[in-house]
Amino acid sequence: MKPIDYRKSTKPGLVPLYIFECAAKLKMKPLTAACAAIVYHRFFKEVKASDYDEFLIAASSLYLAGKIKDDDTVKIRDVINVAYSTLNRGSAPLDLNDEYWAMRDAIVQAELLITRTLSFDLNIELAHKYLLYYMKTLQDWVGADVWNSVPIAKTAASYLQDFHHSPNILKYKPTHVAIGCLSLALQTYGVQVPLTDESDEACMWYKPLVKDFTRENQWEIIEDVIEVYKHEASLKAT
């Protein structure tokens, strides 16, 4: 697959894809990458996108997420070099020249801007811990043989991480996001949870775990996750 030229596309999902490509190159922990995406989405929920350089905000979100999650592997020089080279394919890493220091200053200033725009609320609650708990519970319900016969856990975790490409993730509680992604994984492999009744909302498998989650929430989240893959396919087709 040909690498995406981020400067030549304006399709939906472009900048989040850039965030996760940079995060992979930086060898960020999954939680740090997800945190960066949430910071980015929250910032642009408060401002007009055309007023800011989205790629600069993305780079600064990566750097800020490293601080929020105490991810010591995230160094500002690495963020600068990866963000620059990913946006400018084929370019050599920046030397310690005026361009490097200008980009470093811009990322730091953008970090302050993001922090102020979010009213200094950097308490980012992610759905990952809930997903882990729900999966451990479900594993006991369905039994080890069924659970291990298909990659439910890996698929649910992938759906969750990929959902962070979309600003729609902000519409839902982290508990709801976790259940929605796990539900999609179960449906992907046709796994039926024992002692549940699909025709009765009160008897759905997720009710003992999250009482305020509804079938409507389930389908909304599933549709939003699928939309992420549609945008990604469109981007990679260009």
Q: Quick one: pLDDT at residue 232?
A: 86
Question: Helical H runs in 52-168?
Answer: 54-68, 76-87, 98-117, 128-142, 144-149, 152-163
The model's pLDDT over 214-236, given as tens digits with 9 standing for 90+, comes to: 999 999 999 999 999 998 888 87
Give the integer Cα–Cα distance in Å for 90 and 87: 9
pLDDT top residue among 177 and 202: 177
The type of residue at 80 is I
Look at residue 71 in the predicted model and tell me its pLDDT.
87
* pLDDT computed for residue 199 by the predictor: 66
Residue intervals of the chain classified under CATH 1.10.472.10 are: 14-118, 127-237
Q: Share the mean pLDDT of the chain.
A: 92
The yes-or-no verdict on residue 78 having pLDDT over 90 is yes
Q: Is the pLDDT of residue 92 over 90?
A: no
**Position 198 pLDDT exceeds 80:** no
CA distances from 115 to 21, 51, 122 (A): 23, 17, 7
Q: Identify the pLDDT of residue 196.
A: 78
| pLDDT at residue 112, rounded to an integer | 97
CATH code: domain 14-118 is 1.10.472.10
pLDDT 10s digits, 127-163: 999 999 999 999 988 888 999 999 999 999 999 999 9
Residue 38: how many other CB atoms lie within 10 Å: 21
Name the more confident of 71 and 103. Answer: 103
**Does 1.20.1440.230 match the CATH number of domain 127-237?**
no
Q: Tell me, what's the pLDDT at 234?
A: 83
What gap in Å lies between CA 201 and CA 192, rounded to an integer? 15
